[in-house]
Structure 1
Amino acid sequence: MNSSVIADNSIVLENLKTDEMIEFIQKLVRINSVYDPEVENANEAEVAQFIYEFLEQEGFEVHLDEVVPGRPNVIAIFTGSEEGKTLLFEGHTDVVSAGDIEKWDYNPFGAEIVNVDGKDRMFGRGTNDTKGNVGAMIYATKAIKDSDVPLKGKIKLCIPVDEEGLMIGIKDFIRKGWADDVDAGIICEPEEKNLCLVQKGALRLGITINGKMSHGAMPLTGNNPVWGVGKVITELRKLENAEKDRLGKHEYLGWPSITPTTIQTPIKGVAQINVVPTDAYMTLDIRTVPGQNHDALVNQVQGILDRLMEQYPSGDDKFYATLEIIDNRPVVECDIDEPIVKALAKAYTEVMGSEPIYNGVPGATDGTFLTAWRNIPVVVTGAGDREVPHQVNEWCEIDDLIETAKMYTLAALNFLNGN
């Protein structure tokens, strides 16, 4: 690395205001952005507006782009002094529910900083997933802008809604053309600063099983769909084991899985202990690894239903079921030789003084659709223990957030300026 590059990098890091960044993250966490369709104004609007006003005040080109009423994406752009590539930083504004607040030791929306075993930790919903990393990516970009060093190309910030749901925010961002000029992306999620190059696929299915309502004392006069649920689960477990035997354990992603997650019976009306229900509905959360084809899996699940319908065509154990696809997120991978991977690897070594750790994301992220729909190479990385998201007493270490912000800063310089 030549002396001018070292000097520029040093200038930028000097402009990374980490104390201000931590205060900014605290402000983000203190804004409750849990989405609840049953509660008025329970969405990401307030935190999105706060981020929009901050970025506008800091001199960014910034857009507040409504996806659906009350749920806007924030998009900001910093354009360098020369033509070049476009790098995307992406992190979402929504957080999952705090659950039973009485089980928390700290206010889930308090962003309290506590010293634990000699390390300062910020506690609260979103500190880890992923408001801490949103703050890190914003302040990394702000440091580059404020330093006034030469920069080729542009940095685009995408701060969408609904990552924890059906990812309507990133889908809207892509559909409206915001990603058309993006050459590579850094997805800012809690991954212990591991460079995650592959993400599990997610296939969500719903199965409706029809039956016939009757008195619980006279089950033979009806047709209990709950027995059908049991038959389906038994067959799905066989399919899961067959896929595990076929594919083995992936180096970064572990085992593929087929998980029944919810069972509702009856679908409408009141469940009663002495009533055979009319119908049942179950959902499957299928997580896939390289080597699995989602269309083939859907066909295999449909095949199970078809075989059961053929095996139990009539009588009190008649089986009839229909299948629906709720969500479909494919496995995506990023080659280790991609420039964005090299830029992040170099930044990691500069900040941490060691070689990077490569890994995979056990679930899907917004980056899944950037790769699947636009073939954009993405790496998922950020501050935060990988096992802490969605837990009670969610936390993130302050030092981890600072190191991540430095890594984001240098990665952007490395990628755009070709350092």
Structure 2
Amino acid sequence: MNYEKVLECLDTEGLIRFVQDVVRIDSVYDPGVPGADESRVTEFVSKFLRDDGFEVHLDEVAPGRTNIVAFLRGEAGGKTILMEGHQDVVSIGNREEWKYDPFGAEIVERDGKKVMYGRGSNDTKGNMGAAIFAARAIRDSKIPFKGNILLCIPVDEEGMMIGIKHFIEKGWAKGVDGALICEPEEKHLCVFQKGALRFRITFHGTQCHGCMPLTGNDPNWALARFIVELRQLENFEKDRLGKHEFLGWPSFTPTVLQAPVTGVAQLNVVPKEASLALDVRTVPGQEHDGIRRQIQGIVDRLSRQHSSGDDKFSATIEQLDDRPWTEISRDHPLVASAARAYREVMGWEEIYDGVPGATDGTFLQAWNNIPVLVTGAGDREIPHHVDEWVEIDDVIEASKIFALTALYFMES
């Protein structure tokens, strides 16, 4: 079927106004500040969808944090495609470093192209709007289709992803045949996603005076030994697996070192405990159970080697998160549909890629075995930067690709 009418029905001006409206709403989550959550985005977007005739459901995940679930239903007998874009954004950091108002959604011309600035314009409110307006264009075209379009607009993608976990646990993902995760990937078709394992490792010692370290046990030496071993493990995995075509290298990255864990740090006090936050990013060929055993093995071996005295090694491991890597075949109907849509909208061959981090799609595939493809508007290196931006034409093109992908997939 020729779906040119669908593209003609895409309200491009309305799309950009919508993106400006949601970018202007601060949805940075801060548990220490009342009202610093996604609630105002939830209110605005859910009202927009309801007023526009969508079937809308609100599902509270936590106080002030509510998922939006909306349906555009076609005729019975077709597939269900999920399009997902999250409500939350990351912190703006130091506001004085921003040239543009982080919540101004200002549109300016740069290098001959119109660009919108603002936190979330790129990651991923531009893509959220592109998905919503893609569904609107399909509806407004009045072209009949079999199947369903499910819009999931969850909270907390930038945190522990409690929104998508809740979405799955409540059964909303049942019956979904394919998921289009709308993230800033320069419209590349990302058929791989890196996995993520997060740990907090606490090293135990004995507090004492800094001038008499032998009267206690400094946990920082244990932490240092662990980091050296961790680096060796990372190098081993790099040698074993090599550099992945789309995902690059696996990594074992200490991100936060803290001593003491509680209380006031003082120069002349050996702390009782030290801690390390560890962010492991995995690629195909790595099994998370095996990595857990390797890390525990380092702790067990160092504990045996340094078992007594002021040099005693003692540590405990807490796993914080587990997000397996994902893969979808280029031959899958969802990928084939997106590739066809890309070629028709862009006028050249599709580009395949991989997501360097994890997305909400990680859990959709890992927990529900739903085929996941990640794509969307926005320079993939811009998320979380000061003066975050997205090209206006990029958002419009992504919306067209989303609309055609959904239609081609539902009829496949």
Deviation of 1:293 after TM superposition, in Å, equals 0.8
Q: 1: distance between equivalents of 2:310 and 2:411? A: 71
Q: How does 1:132-147 map to 2 (within 5 A)?
A: 132-147=126-141
Aligned mate of 1:361, from 355, 363, 375: 355
CA offsets 1:246-282 (integer angstroms, 9 cap, x no match): 0000000000000000011111110000100011111
Deviation of 1:315 after TM superposition, in Å, equals 1.1
Deviation of 1:346 after TM superposition, in Å, equals 0.1
Q: 2: distance between equivalents of 1:138 and 1:402? A: 12
TM-score for both structures, normalised by structure 2: 0.99
Q: 2: distance between equivalents of 1:262 and 1:56? A: 43
Aligned mate of 2:329, from 312, 326, 335: 335
Q: How does 1:135-174 map to 2 (within 5 A)?
A: 135-174=129-168
Indicate the RMSD between aligned Cα atoms, in angstroms. 0.7
What corresponds to 1:392 in structure 2? 386
Q: Mind listing any 5+ residue stretches in structure 2 that lack a counterpart?
A: none
Q: 1: distance between equivalents of 2:411 and 2:201? A: 51
Runs of 4 or more above 4 Å deviation: none
What corresponds to 1:10 in structure 2? 4
Q: 2: distance between equivalents of 1:166 and 1:50? A: 24
What corresponds to 2:99 in structure 1? 105
What corresponds to 2:260 in structure 1? 266
**Identical-residue share of aligned pairs (%):** 62
Determine if the alignment matches structure 1 residue 293 to structure 2 residue 287. yes
SS of corresponding position for 2:77: strand
SS of corresponding position for 2:115: strand
What corresponds to 1:130 in structure 2? 124
Deviation of 1:83 after TM superposition, in Å, equals 2.5
CA offsets 1:343-379 (integer angstroms, 9 cap, x no match): 0000000000111000000011000011001111010
Aligned mate of 1:47, from 41, 45, 61: 41
CA offsets 1:56-112 (integer angstroms, 9 cap, x no match): 001000011101111000000011134311010001000000000000000000000
CA contact (8 A) 1:61 1:78 kept: yes
CA offsets 1:5-56 (integer angstroms, 9 cap, x no match): 22xx121111100011000000000000000000001000110111000000
Aligned mate of 1:244, from 224, 234, 238: 238
Q: 2: distance between equivalents of 1:413 and 1:299? A: 45
Q: 1: distance between equivalents of 2:266 and 2:76? A: 69
Aligned residue pair count:
412
SS of corresponding position for 1:328: strand
Q: 2: distance between equivalents of 1:135 and 1:35? A: 20
What corresponds to 1:374 in structure 2? 368
Q: 1: distance between equivalents of 2:131 and 2:16? A: 12
Aligned mate of 1:228, from 214, 222, 226: 222
Q: 2: distance between equivalents of 1:116 and 1:226? A: 49
Q: 1: distance between equivalents of 2:372 and 2:310? A: 53
Deviation of 1:417 after TM superposition, in Å, equals 2.4
Q: 1: distance between equivalents of 2:345 and 2:285? A: 35
Q: 2: distance between equivalents of 1:86 and 1:335? A: 19
CA contact (8 A) 1:162 1:169 kept: yes
CA contact (8 A) 1:82 1:150 kept: no
SS of corresponding position for 2:121: coil
Deviation of 1:412 after TM superposition, in Å, equals 1.1
SS of corresponding position for 2:143: coil
